[in-house]
Amino acid sequence: MTEAENKKENREHLEMIRKAMDLIDDRVFLILNSVEIESARGWVAQFRRAHNELGEMITHLADLAGIQEDEE
């Protein structure tokens, strides 16, 4: 892989990480708003969903980091 291809791939990975971080930030905002507005029962369901989504994002980011380490 050429240096230009590596840089392009790194930019793509960074963009995916930025998008994941934006999703995490949005989800945290929604959870915090639901705590103030909804009952505990509604909050628990949202928290579980958010927890699962965040786990998937973190796994994906870890996979990207693993790919990056393997290339080095």
pLDDT at 12 over 80: yes
Structure tokens at 50: 């958010």
Stated as kind and residue range, the H or E segment containing 2 is none
The tally of domains found in the chain comes to 1
**Which of 41-68 are b and which e, b meaning 16 or more Cβ less than 10 Å from the residue's Cβ?**
eebeebeeebeeeeeebeeeeeebeeee
Stated as kind and residue range, the H or E segment containing 50 is helix 40-71
Give pTM, 2 decimals.
0.50
pLDDT at 64 over 80: no
Q: Which residue has the tokens 């980091």?
A: 65
Domain coverage including residue 22: 3-71
Read off the pLDDT of residues 37-54 as tens digits, 9 standing for 90 and up: 556 677 777 778 877 888
